[in-house]
């Protein structure tokens, strides 16, 4: 089995964690919910790590199949979340209750959407004959740290800019969805 240097794995982990950071930046701009930081950090780290291992075990036969649709799936999930967020920000209705995006299906879909690229990386590790255990641990830890950083930065932006940051966050997610769609 081949191995990568620690700094190489760290660079890959930072690239993979950028989606989780971006999503947490937007989620952090919303109302604070108890336990949100733990749930987001833990689940994003877990999904990034586990998807790397799943990708590795899926191996070569799965590479060609996943490459044909993975970006569309991730783009679609992020697009729906962005539209929902913009709708809530622009047309709040009489009783606006903010949704905790760190629970239930929101959490699962966000975790999946931000970890599809980790699945692809696991597939690459399989093709390169690289053991997934050390990289998946580092990828998970970095994703968790980047998630918490994004969440707290989003909260800081909301405190200094106000609720208009939610609209900016929705637009930012639309841009991410567009980027994912064109990959």
Q: What is the DSSP string of 16-33?
A: HHHHHHHHHHHHHTS---
The pLDDT value recorded for residue 41 is 92
The pLDDT value recorded for residue 42 is 95
Average pLDDT over residues 87-94: 65
Lowest mean pLDDT among 96-100, 107-111, 150-154: 96-100
H-type alpha helices, 5-103: 6-28, 36-58, 60-67, 70-90
Average pLDDT over residues 65-72: 66
- The torsion angles phi and psi of 41, rounded to 5 degrees, stand at -60, -45
Other residues' Cβ atoms within 10 Å of the Cβ of residue 169: 25
Distance CA 44, CA 147 (A): 7
Average pLDDT over residues 160-168: 67
């Amino acid at each position: 089995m081949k191995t990568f240097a620690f700094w190489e794995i760290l660079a890959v982990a930072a690239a993979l964690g950028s989606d989780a950071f971006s999503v947490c930046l937007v989620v952090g701009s919303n109302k604070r919910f108890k336990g949100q930081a733990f749930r987001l950090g833990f689940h994003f780290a877990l999904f990034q790590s586990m998807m790397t291992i799943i990708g590795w075990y899926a191996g070569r036969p799965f590479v060609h199949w996943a490459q044909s649709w993975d970006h569309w799936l991730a783009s679609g999930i992020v697009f729906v979340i962005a539209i929902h967020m913009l709708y809530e920000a622009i047309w709040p209705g009489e009783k606006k209750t903010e949704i905790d995006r760190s629970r239930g299906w929101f959490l699962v879909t966000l975790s999946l959407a931000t970890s599809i690229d980790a699945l692809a990386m696991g597939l690459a590790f399989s093709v390169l004959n690289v053991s997934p255990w050390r990289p998946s641990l580092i990828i998970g830890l970095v994703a968790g740290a980047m998630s918490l950083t994004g969440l707290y930065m989003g909260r800081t932006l909301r405190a200094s800019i106000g609720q208009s940051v939610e609209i900016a966050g929705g637009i930012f997610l639309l841009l991410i969805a567009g980027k994912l769609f064109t990959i």
